[in-house]
Chains A and B, each alone.
Chain A
Amino acid sequence: MAETRDPQRENEALRKDSASMSTAEVKAWFVRDVLPLEAALMQYLHHNLGKGGDAADLRQDVYMRVCEAARNRLPDPVRPFLFTVARNLLIDRMRREQVVPIDAVSDLEALNIAIDTPGPERTVAARDELRRLQIALDRLSPRCREVVVLARVEGLTGRQIAQRLGISESAVSQQLDNGMRALAEVLYGEPSDLRRGN
């Protein structure tokens, strides 16, 4: 009881010392195995945070933790590991905010649902992927979409886009940055509509 050691910290220190995965390997794993689970993760975070909480902050913390762990060894299977990390972070946060952590602690049912959600879009065929991208584009505001399309499809530079649209280059940059963030949000954070639509 009186022990002052913090096993979690010790583990992290251990991992840093014995990091056996290169940054490139961790990155490849993160993009291939973790990002496709984001829609389920966000569903779980939103469910447990309610309206007030910002899921983006927690998502960042979850990703940091799993990548930290992956430096030592790539967690396999990923899904239960990811959700355990998410659940622990939720509980930590609720303890800090001194809310009885009922939702997060007891919501194993929701956790199971999220874990059982059918697999990620990794297997989606190329044609579906194109359609999914178009759906994501459609979620952008008209001006933002225009800028993204000119940059990504037409391959125009920021200056060319600014001239074409008659807006400042910094406005183009802003639209492009927002567009990149929004596309990530839709492509990874939201459940795919394709299955339902087909």
Chain B
Amino acid sequence: MSTGHADENLSTSAAGEIEARAAAWLRRRNADWTDTQQAELDAWLAQSGAHQVAFWRLEAAWERTSRLEALRKAPMSSRAAAPNTSRFRHLRLATAVLTVAVLGAAWAFTSHTTEPVYSTALGERKVVTLGDGSRIELNTNTTLRLVAAAKGRKVVLERGEAFFQIQHDAANPFVVIAGNHRITDLGTQFVVRQTRGNLEVTLVEGSAELGPADATGHERSVVLKPGDVALATAASVAVLKKPAHEVNDEMAWRRGMLVFDRTTLAEAAAEFNRYNDTHLVIADKTIAAQTIGGKFSTKDVGGFVEIMQQLMGLRVKHQGNDFVVSR
């Protein structure tokens, strides 16, 4: 459902323009109406099926609102006449506040006992809201630990991938520890992903500093800017610049999607395998090097297999827990 007022989010597309004309016809018909005008309306409707369906739809919705005439006796502002609506809205707001409060309370409580650990199973995603309003979105197969001593401003990414949207506090910076690296928020949205000993940090907004976990100074660290993708191994850090749309594509998991753009089948298969029990296996190197583009649900291995079969002419055999791809 869109936010904001419904009358301020109307479509401006070709269909939207037809609809606007249909609305004007309907409005005029509700006022004084002559036979000539009716003939004009009939002609407009006969012009195109698009005119017809747009007009029928608006007319039907407007007919439904005729029930509102029942309210005419009681002089009303719509709000005064809609007690249920207001109650609804407050209830919903209260729920939102409650969710945050409960998480905050859970945090306050557990911080005195054990360190809270958040984790996701294969294919699962989870959003954690911290007491200060910072949000962390955990991707598939991820474990994240809050460090109790740091008042919620320090987390350890044990494994997997997470998106951080941090409430910046210069006096008390937010720190993510991943392996032997440390990422310090400088007012930021960023993604941290761990893969087999490597670390990938993608900066979305603001900036963050990446350095060794054990260092306190800034000597050996780099400051990342939006679009920067840092690839860190235990010994080195390389920073690449990526265009904004690629950064966006990489974060498609936050919507449960994978976006490929000239991605090799090997990489695409590896991505799917992060989310699913059933693994794609591509042994043939020439097949693995073929590229593909498109959007998939992270769970839709079946759809991906179908594409490989139908569009790329590959053979896929289901063996136990694997899809084995061959010519």
Chain A residues in the interface with B (C-beta under 8 A): 23, 27, 30-31, 35, 50, 54, 56-57, 59-60, 63-64, 67-68, 99-103, 105-107, 109-110, 126, 129-131, 133-141, 144-145, 148-149, 151-155, 157-158, 173, 175-188, 190-191, 193, 197
Contact = CB atoms under 8 A, between A and B. Distances in A.
A42 B72 CA distance: 33
B33 interface: no
B16 interface: yes
- A-B pairs, top 8 by smallest CB distance, nearest first, are A106-B303, A184-B61, A56-B11, A182-B6, A100-B294, A177-B23, A182-B7, A141-B5
A105 B302 CA distance: 11
Contacts of A155: 69, 72
B294 A130 contact: no
B10 A178 contact: yes
A14 to B, nearest CB: 17
Contact of A100 (B30, B81, B292): B292
A31 B54 CA distance: 11
B8 A141 contact: yes
Nearest to A53: B13
B39 interface: no
Given A103-B294, A145-B78, A177 B13 contact: no
B7 A133 contact: no
Nearest to A36: B60
* Of B11, B13, B53, B64, most A-chain CB atoms within 10 Å: B53
Interface string B45-89: 000011011101110111011111111100011110110110011
A131 B306 CA distance: 46
A23 B51 CA distance: 13
Given A131-B85, A153-B76, A102 B304 contact: yes
Contacts, number: 191
Contacts of B8: 141
Given A103-B294, A106-B296, A145-B78, A133 B64 contact: yes
Interface of B: 1, 5-11, 13-16, 18-20, 23-24, 26-27, 30-31, 49-50, 52-54, 56-58, 60-62, 64-72, 76-79, 81-82, 84-85, 88-89, 91, 292-297, 300, 302-304, 306-307, 311
A59 to B, nearest CB: 7
B15 A56 contact: yes
B31 A157 contact: yes
A106 B84 contact: no
Contact of A31 (B60, B65, B82): B60
Nearest to B8: A141
Contact of B26 (A144, A157, A180, A193): A180
Nearest to B24: A177
A64 B15 CA distance: 11
Contacts of B19: 56, 181
B10 A181 contact: yes
Q: Say whether chain A's binding surface is mostly helix, strand, loop, or mixed.
A: helix
A42 B27 CA distance: 26
B306 A105 contact: yes
Nearest to A101: B294
A187 B24 CA distance: 19
15 contacts: A23-B52, A59-B15, A99-B294, A106-B307, A107-B300, A110-B297, A134-B85, A135-B88, A139-B5, A139-B6, A140-B5, A149-B78, A152-B66, A152-B68, A185-B6
B266 to A, nearest CB: 17
A184 B58 contact: yes
Contact of A102 (B67, B68, B72, B303): B303
A127 B76 CA distance: 18
B6 A64 contact: no
A134 to B, nearest CB: 4
Given A57-B15, A109-B300, A139-B5, A103 B60 contact: no
* Of B64, B70, B307, most A-chain CB atoms within 10 Å: B64
Contact of B78 (A27, A99, A134, A187): A134
